[in-house]
Amino acid sequence: MIRHYLVLASKVLLRRKFFTFISLFGISFTLLVLTIVAALFDHALGPAAEEPYQDRTLYIERAVMHGPQSMSSSSAGFKLLDKYARNLPGVERLSIYESPRTVHSYIDGRKVSSRLKRTDDEYWRILDFTFLEGSGLSTADVAEARFVAVINAATRQRVFGGQPAVGRSLEADGQRFRVVGVVKDVSEMRNAPFADIWVPYTTAKTDAYKRELLGDWNAMALAKDHEAMATIHEEFNSRLLRVELPDPKQYQAMVAPFETRLGSFARVMPTADRRDPESQIWKLVGLLASLGLLFVLVPTVNLVNINISRIMERAPEIGVRKAFGAPARTLVGQFLVENVLLTLIGGVLGFVLSIFVLRAIAQSGLFSYAHFSINLRVFAYGMVLAALFGLVSGVYPAWRMSRLNPVQALSGGSR
C-alpha cells in the first residue's frame, strides 16, 4: 500500500510542477535556515573532541559585584577563583586559566597577531587536545614559571612556515617562549580550549592579577559525577557569601556561579538578570522554541493554502475515486504520503544547500578555525522536523479532501 502511495505521489508531484516548485522552495528555505542555526549551536555547544567531559564540566566565565547603587561585571579575578574555588567537594579537577587576549610577534619584519591564553597544568588534563607535536604544559612548567608554550597549527604556519616547531623559540607579548607542543586548531566558538598560544600563567609580567576579585580569568571544574555538579554549584555560592569586597558600602554581594556550557550561554541573553545569573536554560529553550515556531508557522500556513488549492484542482479525480467506493482514510493517507514525501525532498534540498552555506561561512573567517558540518545528530533532527512539517501542513487539507461530496466534486465543486 505504501509503495503504491509513493508511486502515485511522485506522479502527482511531477504533474503539477508549479505547485511542487513553490512548495519545495518554501520547505527547503525553511529547513536551510533552521539547519544552519542548529549546526552553529551544535558547533559551539555540542560535544567536541577537545572537551570530552563536557557533560560533567562546570565553568565560571562571569562575575558580578553589586550593591544598592552600583554593579561591576567582568570575568572573574584570579584571587576570587584561587581562594574560593579550590578544594570544593565533588570536584575531580579544577583549572584556572586566563581569557585569550591579542598579542603581537614580529617575524622577519612582519607583525603577527595571535590570541594568547595563560593556563595552569590542570587545564591540559581536563581538556583533550589533538597534538601534532610534543605535549602540553606540565606541573613543573607552571610551578617553576618556565617560559614554554604550546601553539596551534595555524601559529606554526604563520611563525615557522609550517616546519616542525618543538624546541624553537617564539616571541609573544614581549616575552620569548620555547615551543613544547603543537596542537590542532580549535574553533573560536569553543571558549575554553580556544587560543593560538598557551603559556604558564606564572610567566605573567606582574603578579597584580593575584589580588583581583574581577579580572580576565575563568575556572573549569570537572565534577566526579553528574550528581556532584549541583553540590559544587551550591558550595561555591555559599563561599561567595564570605568574600571580602573592596568597598562594602558600594558593593554588598558577589555572584559568580559555576554553570554548564549551555547555562553560561543562556545567561548572556538580554532577559537574564545580571544580579542573579542563575540558570537561564529554560528561558533560552523557550525563546528558541518560540522563534522556531514563528519561523516555521508562515511557510506552514502557505503550504496549507497551496495544498488546499491542489485538492480543489483535483476535485474531479477525488470525486471519481469516492464514487467508486474509495474510503476517506485511503484518500487521506494518500495525500499525507504525498505531502510528507514533498517535505522530505525539500528537507534534503535544504540540507544540501546548507552544506554550501556553512562552508561559505567557515571560509569567510567570521569565526577563526571553525569547520561547520552537518553531523548525523543535526541531520536526524532536521528530517524529523521535515516529516512533522509535512504531517502538520497536510492534516487540514486532507480532512477537507475527505469531506468532499462526490457529486459536487465531479462537477468541479468544492463542498
Three-state SS annotation for 330-342: HHHHHHHHHHHHH
- C-alpha cell of residue 297: 508557522
Cell of 120: 595552569
Return the closest-CA partner of residue 152 out of 192, 173, 179, 178: 179
| Nearest CA-CA partner of 263 in 249, 277, 253 | 277
Task: State how far the Cα of 324 lies from the Cα of 305, in Å rounded to an integer.
Answer: 28
Question: What is the band of 48 on the pLDDT scale with cuts at 50, 70, 90?
Answer: confident
The arithmetic mean of pLDDT across residues 367-385, rounded, is 77
- What's the start-to-end Cα distance of the chain, in Å? 28
Give the span between the Cα atoms of 283 and 414, in whole angstroms. Answer: 45
Q: List the grid coordinates of 127.
A: 581538556
Q: Which residue has the higher pLDDT, 173 or 38?
A: 173
* Average pLDDT over the chain, rounded to an integer: 82
Q: How confident is the model at residue 354 (pLDDT cuts 50, 70, 90)?
A: confident
Query: Which residues 6+ apart lie within 8 Å of 225 measured at CB?
Result: 56, 90
Q: Which of 43, 8, 132, 108 has its CA nearest to residue 377?
A: 43
Domain boundaries, the chain: 2-46+283-410, 62-258
pTM for the model: 0.79
- Chain-centroid distance of CA 2 in Å reads 38
Maximal C-alpha separation, the chain: 93
- Low-confidence winner among 2-16, 54-68, 126-140, 287-301 (lowest mean pLDDT): 2-16
pLDDT for residue 276 is more than 60: no
Render pLDDT for 228-237 as a digit per residue (tens, 0 to 9). 998 998 999 9
